[in-house]
Amino acid sequence: MIYGGQHQPKTGNMNIAAYQYTGDNNTLMTVVNVDTQAAVVYIALSSGEKDSNWKDIITGDVFKAEDITLSLPMEGSGSENHGLRVMARIDR
């Protein structure tokens, strides 16, 4: 069983979906681009995640939110990573 809060953050892009889990010790977010074209996605975070730091556990890339927006470059669905990022908040 997974215990914790789960929600779908807004991405502003109908081809990119995000799904977030927040537990007692970890916050994880999967982000997927179903379009074949690469894009930058702007994910709306909660106020408690202002200026938070995130690491893609697949690539090792690290990103810092600006205020409550996390900007992520996303590869297209036909890329080597299939347009997927698995993000872990690293400043909790």
**What would the CATH number be for the domain defined by 5-89?**
2.60.40.1180
3-state secondary structure the chain: CCCCEEECCCCCCCCEEEEEEECCCCEEEEEEECCCCCEEEEEECCHHHCCCEEEECCCCCEEECECCEEEEEECCCCCCCCCEEEEEECCC
What tens digit of pLDDT does each residue of 72-90 get?
999 999 999 999 999 999 9
**Phi/psi at 68 (nearest 5 deg)?**
-115, 30
What tens digit of pLDDT does each residue of 32-62 get?
999 999 999 999 999 999 999 999 999 999 9
Domain positions in the chain are 5-89
Model pTM above 0.75 = yes
